Amino acid sequence: MTYTKLKLGSTIGIIGGGQLGKMMAQSAQARGFKVAVLDPDDTCPARYVSHHFIHAPYNDAQALLELGQLSDVITYEFENISGEELKNITSQFNVPQGADTVVTLQNRLAEKTALKEAGAAVVPFVSVTNEAELKGAADILGFPFMLKTTFGGYDGKGQIVIESEADFKEADELLAIRPCVAEKRINLKSEISITATAAPDGKVVFFPVQENEHRNQILYKTTVTGEHPHQSQAIEEVKKIMQAIYFVGTFTVEFFIDQDDTLYVNEIAPRPHNSGHYSIEACDYSQFDTHILAVAGWQLPEQITLLKPAVMFNLLGQDLNTMEDIFSDHADWHVHVYGKEVRKENRKMGHVTILDLNNDYEAIYKERM
């Protein structure tokens, strides 16, 4: 595949101006690139770190055309963009990530099917479109199982646990936007993820395995020691996945580990990921740096080095309320606030990274809750 090696002063176009777009833009600017951002929210976090801002819906064909004309390369910060529009700009502009990967990964059923075909250790699943198939799913998977919408879920939205037949009623709402994916519920010991970056020339670098703790299905805490026992197995799984799905740039694979230490692939995000934010301070390259290097057609480093073990906590709206008045007293807390105008419960407003696993953040947090 041919690709363009960007010159200094070239413009990187980013579809989406949330926190991921903002942190991508900051890495791009550090390397001497300009940034153009397209977002429907004219107060979005990336707006204030970009040279050009296009205020439009993500799927606005005209606005995407404008982004293409302004940019030397186009990337995206999230996967729920219109596959059709992405295909359209891919045929006209330099979009090294292409459109096919997003189209596969934005559909949970297509994603899991691709993972299964790749021979990856995906959680057992079946497709469900009606109540009869829901019963069939229960026979195959056993109770409890998860029912998830195929499109648009994030932070646990669009999914329910089916404990018994009594819960079938609750499935109606999800099945109305069928098909859904029914999936075995794993008795979790832990959750991990691994972030990787692929260059257009095929080179891949891996970040260390991240251990993730969720609360209310939203990432609460990521811990990275650099010595996770599942590191090599996780890398093997990613390599299998890469045989089947084409990647350029940074992506993250999420895994479940059950009580018997069996590793399962959960899902893939074809973009920088919340669980990789610690890399900004804890690694010699952040997940945003390597993403920018890859889409710019620049060399990736030989490897990523973890400089220090790290822990990252998300700052949701309520966490910011609890903690913001003491950030100034804790120089060792690397505080990132994304700059979203509206502070809401469970909305990701920022994060804190601490390069010390025995930090006092959690104790203080609990005390103040």
How many residues touch ligand ADP (CB under 6 A)?
A: 18
Q: 52 labelled as ligand-binding?
A: no
Stretch that binds ligand ADP, among 86-94, 180-188, 227-235, 319-327 (CB under 6 A): 180-188
C-alpha dist (Å) from residue 288 to 13, 20, 196, 220, 268: 14, 8, 11, 20, 17
According to the annotation, is 346 in a ligand binding site? no
Least separation in angstroms between residue 8's CB and ligand ADP is 37
Scan for tokens 């934010």, then name that residue: 277
Query: Is 191 a residue that touches ligand ADP (CB under 6 A)?
Result: yes
Is position 146 an interface residue for ligand ADP (rule: CB under 6 A)? yes
Q: Which uninterrupted H or E stretch holds 321?
A: helix 317-323
Find out whether 22 is annotated in a ligand binding site: no
* Least distance CB 148 / ligand ADP (angstroms): 6
| Stretch in the footprint of ligand ADP (CB under 6 A) among 12-20, 151-159, 201-209, 312-320 | 151-159
If the CB atoms of residues 185 and 239 are measured against ligand ADP, the closer one turns out to be 185
156 vs 170: CA distance, rounded Å = 16
Interaction between residue 266 and ligand ADP (CB under 6 A): yes
Q: What's the distance, Cα to Cα, between the start and end of the chain in Å?
A: 52
- Interface pick for ligand ADP out of 254, 257, 283, 349 (rule CB under 6 A): 254
Distance CA 208, CA 204 (A): 13
Decide: is 211 part of the binding site for ligand ADP (CB under 6 A).
no
Q: What is the DSSP string of 155-209?
A: TTTTEEEE-SGGGGGGHHHHHTT--EEEEEPP-EEEEEEEEEEE-TTS-EEEPPP
Residue 14's nearest CA partner among 49, 341, 153, 32 is 49
Q: What residues from 299 to 318 belong to the interface with ligand ADP (CB under 6 A)?
A: none
Contacts for 334-339 with beta carbons within 8 Å, 24 or more apart? 334/280, 334/281, 336/277, 336/280, 338/18, 338/19, 338/22, 338/45, 339/22, 339/45, 339/48
Q: Give the residue carrying structure tokens 């936007």.
A: 177
What is the smallest separation between the CB atom of 177 and ligand ADP, expressed in angstroms? 15
Q: Is 156 in the site for ligand ADP (CB under 6 A)?
A: yes
Q: Is 79 a binder of ligand ADP (CB under 6 A)?
A: no
User: Binding site for ATP: residue ranges?
Assistant: 108, 148, 153-159, 183-186, 191, 214, 266-267
Chain positions contacting ligand ADP, by CB under 6 A: 123, 146, 153-156, 183-186, 188, 191, 214, 217, 254, 256, 266-267
